[in-house]
Amino acid sequence: MALIESLISIDKKQPVSAYVQVANGIITYIRQGTLKPGAALPASRVLAKSLNVHRKTIVAAYDELYAQSWVDVYPRKGIFVANNLPDVSPRPILDDVQQQTGLACETNFDVEKTIDIAYPFHKAPEGNIIMNGGFPDIRIAPVDLMIREYRRFAAYHFTTKYLMYGLEQGSENLRNELAKFLSETRGLQVQASDILITKGVQMALYLTAQLLISKGDIVIAADPGFSGANDVFEQAGAKLELVPVDDYGISVDAIEEICKKKKVRIVYVIPHHHTPTTATLCPERRMRLLELARKHRFAIIEDDYDFDFQYTSSPILPLASADYCGNVIYVGSFCKIIAPGIRIGFMVAPKNLLSQAINLRRLIDRQGEHLLEEAMANLLKNGDIGRHLKKANKLYHERRDMLCKLLTEHLGEHISFKIPDGGFAIWVTYLNGLKPAKVAEKASEMGLTLSDGSDYYYNPKYQNHSIRIGFASLNEAEMIEAISILKKAIDKVLSGS
């Protein structure tokens, strides 16, 4: 017993509870063989006094060990290491080896797959203004309305059913309301059974890639494009074929040329406000792309992440609204409508694919957040989402115009850009040889965080001179200060200071 008391130590600075540290320490020495099966453990009072902790701490530690079957408890005899544990040979404990409380070492088995993902967004220095790549303003998110719906559920006698397991496909109420919403806003003639609720667009992309892509399959995407989608496709085993994007969207001519030479599995397209260039796919290219999909039998993943934000004209209806051959998988989310933290997305797909996506979703994530989905269903049903969109569109339209005005007045000789017809960001190109990385570095030192241009093109060595600047999440005062800092940063770069 004296040996155990001398081995176990408690670090009160650790976030781990004291009783957990004691239990983990004993488990470590049982695993090492220092404590053999049947060995007696010190009485709780004795160990508590030795470790200078309250007896309740040791009692809690012993309770935890008993719950995990590491010890046996015999009334009037004491606590002993369980007899059914393997009898391993003890290893010496060296003086210079400290007790480990976590999995700090490498695994003792092979990791068959490695997943390499670039993380372009780093934590901004505290106090910096952030000009992100295009996010909604979470300060205007209808959080109070969502809380109202949660409170309503709390008063209902049937709320308990939403705390149990639900449908893998997602709340039926939400899918019914979403079907109406998609019909009214996008012309999609779908029913609740045609929709799978996901945790954002990213999950929908992952499910689709895992189901459709085999190693070596060709997936076409735009360059510059959305690296988050490219990473998903490559992880699934795809070979990416990249095509250019211009003011009219992804190049359908380039897609057709690839189809003539290779068997294409998927074409990934962002039809409205392409990430990062903000271009909208024109109607003529949309029709040609659908015809190519029919002819060459490939799937189209249509990522319509910000369809609801249009400022100058009515949006062009999605490809999915004109798909009569079952080639289009339509994905979107409420993460941009409300806030990125509200992880509700959706996937509309042909029935055979959707059924398998539902099964796969069950394997990786049993279901979504039932109460959140029910609350969202009520917000759609009550018209709260529609009213929020009307308010947000008006505000973001004003902010777009304000940022364009500031850019023209203060940076007109250093940049060029085209006013986007919707979305959350402007695609800005630096002139006069300015390099985005240099400007971003100087701006960060002065209190402004913005893109360094490294995440847009598939080849990281590509000499890109454009960045995506978001306007939706900044108010007027923040924009004025941000552009003032950006101007100073550009001046410093040009002067070499």
Q: Tens of pLDDT along the chain (497 residues)? A: 446 667 787 887 777 788 888 888 888 888 877 888 888 999 888 888 888 889 999 999 998 888 888 899 988 889 999 988 755 555 554 444 444 444 455 656 666 666 766 555 556 777 899 999 999 999 999 999 988 988 887 777 666 766 777 788 999 999 999 999 999 999 999 999 999 999 999 999 999 999 999 999 999 999 999 999 999 999 999 999 999 999 999 999 999 999 999 999 999 999 999 999 999 999 999 999 999 999 999 999 999 998 999 998 778 899 999 988 999 999 999 998 998 888 999 999 999 999 999 999 999 888 788 888 999 999 999 999 999 999 999 999 999 999 999 999 999 999 999 999 999 999 999 998 999 999 999 999 999 999 999 889 998 778 789 999 999 999 999 999 999 999 999 999 998 87
Give the residue from 361, 369, 342 showing the smallest Cα distance to 164: 369
Q: Are residues 335 and 417 in the same domain?
A: no
pLDDT of amino acid 64: 85
Cα(174)–Cα(299) distance, integer angstroms? 26
User: Could you count the other beta carbons within 10 Å of the beta carbon of residue 438?
Assistant: 17
Q: Are 254 and 405 in contact (CB under 8 A)?
A: no
CA atoms within 13 A on the CB side of 69: 4
96 part of a folded domain? no
Residue with tokens 């007696």: 40
Question: Domain containing 53 — which CATH number?
Answer: 1.10.10.10
C-alpha span between 476 and 452 (Å, rounded): 23
- For tokens 């705390």, name the residue: 163
Q: Are the beta carbons of 222 and 242 closer than 8 angstroms?
A: yes
* In contact, 266 and 168? CB cutoff 8 Å: no
Judgement on whether residues 363 and 398 belong to the same structural domain of the protein: no
Burial class (CB in 10 A: 0-12, 13-18, 19+), 65: buried
**Secondary structure (H, E, C), 381-411:** HCCHHHHHHHHHHHHHHHHHHHHHHHHHHHH
Question: Residue 70 is encoded by which pair of tokens?
Answer: 């590491």
What is the bridge-based pairing of β-strands 71-74 and 78-81? antiparallel
Q: Nearest Cα to 458, choosing from 254, 282, 219?
A: 219
DSSP-derived 3-state class of residue 425:
strand
208 and 250 share a domain? yes
Same-domain check for residues 221 and 362: yes
Domain edge (last residue) among 382, 406, 438: 382
Residue 6: CB atoms within 10 Å:
9
Residue 442, domain CATH: 3.90.1150.10
Q: Do residues 77 and 180 share a domain? A: no
Residues 179 and 324 reside in one and the same domain: yes
Look at residue 159 and tell me if it is in a domain: yes
User: Which residue bears the tokens 């990473």?
Assistant: 231
Residue 276: CA atoms inside 13 Å, Cβ hemisphere, count? 25
Quote the pLDDT of residue 1: 47
CB 54 within 8 A of CB 12: no
The pTM of this model reads 0.77
Q: Which residues pair with 310 in a beta bridge?
A: 422
Q: Quick check: is 418 in a domain?
A: yes
Query: How far is the CA of 63 from the CAs of 39, 168, 228, 491, in angstroms?
Result: 17, 37, 46, 66
Residue 189 sits in the same domain as residue 271: yes
| pLDDT of amino acid 12 | 76
Same domain, 294 and 189: yes
Q: Which range marks the domain in which residue 35 is found? A: 2-81
Cα–Cα distance, 79 to 14 (Å, whole number): 27
Position 198 scores a pLDDT of 95
State how far the Cα of 449 lies from the Cα of 132, in Å rounded to an integer: 8
The strands making up 466-470's β-sheet, listed across from edge to edge, are: 415-417, 425-430, 466-470
Same domain for 73 and 213? no
Give a yes or no: residue 275 inside a domain.
Answer: yes
Residues 372 and 242 in one domain: yes
The predicted pLDDT at position 278 comes to: 96
For residue 262, the model assigns a pLDDT of 96
**Phi, psi for 263 (deg, rounded to 5):** -85, 115
Residue 196: partners with Cβ closer than 8 Å, 6 or more residues away:
169, 170, 204, 207, 346, 347, 349, 354, 357, 358, 361
- What CATH number is given to the structural domain containing 345? 3.40.640.10
Residue at which a domain ends, from 352, 382, 412: 382
Q: Is residue 111 part of a domain?
A: no
Task: State whether 299 and 437 are in the same domain.
Answer: no
Instruction: Quote the Cα angle for 22-23-25, to 5°.
Output: 65
DSSP string, 185-203: HH-----GGGEEEESHHHH
Q: Does residue 95 fall inside a structural domain?
A: no
Note the pLDDT of residue 389. Answer: 95
Say if CB 218 and CB 264 are below 8 A apart.
yes
In a domain, 414, yes or no: yes
User: How many domains does the chain divide into?
Assistant: 3
Given 382, 399, 418, the domain boundary residue is 382
The reply to whether 231 and 347 lie within a common domain is yes
CA-closest candidate to residue 195, choices 343, 347, 377, 325: 347
Domain assignment present for residue 162? The answer is yes
